[in-house]
Structure 1
Amino acid sequence: MQRRYLGLTAAVAALTTAISVSGCGSVGGAGDVTLRLVAADYNLDGGDGTKKYWQDLAEKFEEKNPGIKVDVEIQSWNDVDRKVGEMVKAGKAPDLAQIGAYADYASDNKLYSAAEMLSIPTQANFLDSLAEDGKVHRVQYGMPFVGSTRQLFYNSTLFEKAGITEAPTTWKELAADAKKLKEDGVATPFALPLGPEEAQAETLNWMLAGGSGYVDEIGTYTLNSSDNIDAFEFLKNSLVTPGLTGPVAPGKLNRKAAFEAFAKGQVGMLNGHPSLMQQAEKNGVKYEMAPLPTPDGKKRPSMGVADWMMGFKQNGHRKEMGKFLDFVYSDANVIAFADRFDLLPVTLTASQKMASDSKHQKVRKFLQALPSSVSYPVSKTSWAKVSESIKQQIGTAVEPSNTPAGVLGVLSREAAALDSATQ
């Protein structure tokens, strides 16, 4: 089901109690083992920051825990979920995977629960709603790793040149502003990345803005709701067909390429997460942020996303994995990763520290959006396959030869069938 992010205050009190009760935690001991971790690449510019973070962290952990080695493999977001799936299918599951979905593995009894690995203070420190999103049949298997929300980014220099004085608040205004940008020579007035890298995120942005989402209040897939069809009719008829989404077809445009183009000053507007700020600032691109416009200008929840850590049972390294994860989720390491990539922490204490630190003022808009944001239906065991179908097919909904209703109808029927098969 869709879940809302909750505030921090009450949960901090619960955390304090948990720490006082737990003492040193519930996991310990180490064997002469090597833990294999497959993790996603968060670099937007082709650098090696993700690899360096994990290598440094692994070295520090190994110094404190003789006998446990950590072997890290970094994969792009285009490939990481598929690669892990192939490993698991081949009987060569990694010990730990930091990817986009966990529930199907939990349903197949391939994962340790969070309680089987983590110390009580570590498990109690996750943001409440994210911990809930990590549960299948009321047991937490998915451990949130990092979070983000979305804002509309717009190039303030290009806006000024085109005579646009403020951010659009309605879809009609957004289309009108995109037209002005095109008339002023902007190659990509609005970047619409519906390519396979992260199409499920861009899709949810528009569905939420339109008043719907992937599922209803009881968790039933609603991909072809009238609101969702209207959202994609707007994208096709008001942005794509008039040529306002640039030279690359939305179904071929990936998020990374869209972000790179924005950071080079070539894009007027797009939906972005916190890490785009750093990328744009490196190139001296001036930008502003605003909530994603809606059909009527009324504010609606934005998308909130958590990426997931999970521990596989296959190699039996439960205690060693727990020791490593307790280290991964220490405040210093959580904040270091979030700070490096301009993302949001997923633990209570790290979130509080970031919110109160003037150094992180730029991400406060995203932190403020957390309480009302809506995430993917990640606790549904069908979500991984549904998400993959969306990544591969949703871009065709705005192509000239297709209709949004037709494509969303196909996706909705596939989702319902997958959901039924995994009950």
Structure 2
Amino acid sequence: MSQMKFWKKGLALGLCGALLVSTAACGGKKKSDDDIEVTESTKETTTEPETTEEVVSDLSAEISWWTYPIFVQDEGQEDGTYEQSLIDRFNKKYPNIKVNLKVLSYTDGPEQLQAAIDAEGGELPNVLLDEPGRISGYAKGDLLSDLGDLFTEDVTSDVVSEGILDACKNGDQYVMYPLSGSNYVMAFNRSMIEDSGAIELMNREGACTWTTEAFEQVLERLDNSGFNSGMLFCSGIAGDYATRSFLTNLYDGSLMNGDETAYTMDSDENRQALNKVKEWMDKGWILNGSGSAGADAVASFVEGNNAYCLLWSLPQAISNAEALAQNGVNVVVMPYPSADGTPSLEYMLNGFCVFRTEDEQKEQASRYLIDFLCNDESVAVENVVRSGAFPVRSSMGDIYGGNEEAQLFEALMPYSGTYYNKVNGFEEMRVYWYQMLGEILDGEYSVNDATSSFVEYANKTLTKDGEKE
């Protein structure tokens, strides 16, 4: 199957499924029933060409690899089929390492793993493919191995952004090895920005980065041409990453301080952004979405009612492809604007961790498996494609064969910023976030009062028993 075909299919299934772990805004969910133990019958559906592989190591060990259904399967194949084919290829180079595969469901996989952690003597995986938020939680529980030996100078210099490297850490230790990722973006209705002439003000080259000044001019042109604005939504936490990226980038602010010990929405930069949004709202250039959720904003945009949508990603594009076509909506993807034209974007990330064991053979075998899956030239690019995302390594280059939309997402990866989902109390903070926005949009509180209140309560989520973590 060609890489381009994988891209079409992988975006629909693999990436959408991965994003659903943290948001409810995606239009569909990858089919996943009970946890799947891969059997011999599953193996038979994938055949690999006969090749002569050089044995890399004769180390002998038996390890387990647990994974969510991140990799897209070939048509008609069960979850785990492709992963088992990877194990078969791995065994050509590491013939004495037995890998037992378990595919977790998104529904109860996290609870199943937590139950194993809580049970005395519970069986934990040696290798897990997951996202940084949960992996960080396991690391804080002192359950994971330090993978610093895998982060050679060649690797760290090749990873596309410092933000991604930081997302792989717990404190000073690397606890996750990254495979692929994708940034969150915004979308415009092509016919509306073309008819209004607004597209002339939008950078359409490379990563398409642009300034807040240019964005404001685009809003004005759209309004002067009679097109309906997009909405700043805040009814519920789904899709809140979009509003955080949008607001904090407008005047080069940030959600937290550099060492992530305090929230900074009360900074001059962030207050300027919120006051600017209020100004745009008064002009009708952005709509008050205090009563609307992220899914409402996406649906309205897909129906052709709005000139732009702050909440967009590849899952939205794929799951809404048919409706977009029916409604005659052609999408132009853009990153969030920033004052200096250099955004810091939120993103999803896939990566591997190792649950610590006293068995040195298992520890080394786990590292061999991760290195093979992420770096071996026979599988690495295909694994990124099947994850429905994009390379985190510059050396991989354009893996989607010149597809324009894919190239934009690839070009945006170096703008991946701080991965906030790892901080203590993140989920509780998200509630305070949408409450703050609603208070400002509805005029219940001033920007200064609402941001001060948010910071007060959000900072409390960073503490445990009154002490900083």
TM-score greater than 0.5 by the shorter chain: yes
Query: Would the aligned equivalents of 1:37 and 1:97 in 2 still touch at CA under 8 Å?
Result: yes
Shift of residue 362 of structure 1?
Answer: 3.0
Residue 314 and residue 403 in structure 1: after superposition, are their counterparts in 2 closer, same or farther (change >3 A)? farther
Q: Are 1:326 and 2:326 an aligned pair?
A: no
**Which structure has the greater CA radius of gyration?**
2
| CA distance in structure 1 between the partners assigned to 2:302 and 2:420 by the alignment | 31
Q: Which residue of structure 1 lines up, in the alignment, with residue 165 of structure 2?
A: 131
Aligned length: 377
Q: Which residue of structure 1 lines up, in the alignment, with residue 65 of structure 2?
A: 35
Residue 69 and residue 262 in structure 1: after superposition, are their counterparts in 2 closer, same or farther (change >3 A)? farther
| CA distance in structure 1 between the partners assigned to 2:55 and 2:278 by the alignment | 56
Q: Which residue of structure 2 lines up, in the alignment, with residue 359 of structure 1?
A: 402
Query: Would the aligned equivalents of 1:98 and 1:308 in 2 still touch at CA under 8 Å?
Result: yes
Determine what percentage of the aligned residue pairs are the same residue: 13
Residue 89 and residue 408 in structure 1: after superposition, are their counterparts in 2 closer, same or farther (change >3 A)? farther
Shift of residue 207 of structure 1?
Answer: 0.3
Shift of residue 59 of structure 1?
Answer: 2.0
Which structure 1 residue ranges, 5 or more long, are not aligned? Answer: 1-22
Q: Which residue of structure 2 lines up, in the alignment, with residue 390 of structure 1?
A: 429
Q: Deviations over 1:84-136 (max 9, x none)?
A: 667755676853251242334323311122247x6979966861733344223
Q: Which residue of structure 2 lines up, in the alignment, with residue 56 of structure 1?
A: 81
SS of structure 1 residue aligned to 2:333 = strand
Q: Which residue of structure 1 lines up, in the alignment, with residue 268 of structure 2?
A: 226
| CA distance in structure 2 between the partners assigned to 1:308 and 1:326 by the alignment | 14
| CA distance in structure 1 between the partners assigned to 2:58 and 2:233 by the alignment | 46
Q: Which residue of structure 2 lines up, in the alignment, with residue 20 of structure 1?
A: none
Q: Which residue of structure 2 lines up, in the alignment, with residue 200 of structure 1?
A: 241
Q: Are 1:176 and 2:220 an aligned pair?
A: yes
Q: Are 1:108 and 2:141 an aligned pair?
A: yes
Q: Are 1:286 and 2:330 an aligned pair?
A: yes
Q: Are 1:189 and 2:230 an aligned pair?
A: yes
| CA distance in structure 2 between the partners assigned to 1:86 and 1:167 by the alignment | 53
Alignment of 1:345-356 (within 5 A): 345-350=391-396, 352-354=397-399
SS of structure 1 residue aligned to 2:61 = coil
| CA distance in structure 1 between the partners assigned to 2:380 and 2:291 by the alignment | 37
Query: Would the aligned equivalents of 1:386 and 1:414 in 2 still touch at CA under 8 Å?
Result: no
Alignment of 1:165-314 (within 5 A): 166=200, 169-170=212-213, 172-173=216-217, 175-176=219-220, 179=223, 183-184=226-227, 186=228, 189-190=230-231, 192=233, 195-217=236-258, 219-221=260-262, 222-235=264-277, 238-239=280-281, 244-245=286-287, 249-250=291-292, 252-254=293-295, 258-259=297-298, 262-263=301-302, 265-271=304-310, 272-273=312-313, 278=318, 283-284=324-325, 285-294=329-338, 298-309=340-351, 310-313=353-356
| CA distance in structure 2 between the partners assigned to 1:249 and 1:80 by the alignment | 33
| CA distance in structure 2 between the partners assigned to 1:159 and 1:280 by the alignment | 20
Which structure 2 residue ranges, 5 or more long, are not aligned? Answer: 1-53, 92-96, 203-211
Shift of residue 264 of structure 1?
Answer: 5.1
Shift of residue 60 of structure 1?
Answer: 0.6
Q: Which residue of structure 2 lines up, in the alignment, with residue 18 of structure 1?
A: none
Residue 405 and residue 82 in structure 1: after superposition, are their counterparts in 2 closer, same or farther (change >3 A)? farther
Q: Taking structure 2 as the reference length, what is the TM-score of the superposition? A: 0.63
Whichever residue aligns with residue 397 of structure 1, its letter is M
Residue 276 and residue 211 in structure 1: after superposition, are their counterparts in 2 closer, same or farther (change >3 A)? same
Shift of residue 406 of structure 1?
Answer: 4.2
Q: Which residue of structure 1 lines up, in the alignment, with residue 452 of structure 2?
A: 409
Residue 115 and residue 217 in structure 1: after superposition, are their counterparts in 2 closer, same or farther (change >3 A)? closer
Shift of residue 235 of structure 1?
Answer: 3.8
SS of structure 1 residue aligned to 2:272 = helix
Q: Taking structure 1 as the reference length, what is the TM-score of the superposition? A: 0.68
Whichever residue aligns with residue 208 of structure 1, its letter is N
Query: Would the aligned equivalents of 2:344 and 2:417 in 1 still touch at CA under 8 Å?
Result: yes
Residue 53 and residue 114 in structure 1: after superposition, are their counterparts in 2 closer, same or farther (change >3 A)? farther
| CA distance in structure 2 between the partners assigned to 1:403 and 1:223 by the alignment | 13
Q: Greater shift after overlay, 190-199 or 49-58?
A: 49-58
Whichever residue aligns with residue 106 of structure 2, its letter is Q
Q: Which residue of structure 1 lines up, in the alignment, with residue 106 of structure 2?
A: 75
* Relative contact order higher in (CA < 8 Å, ≥ 6 apart): 1
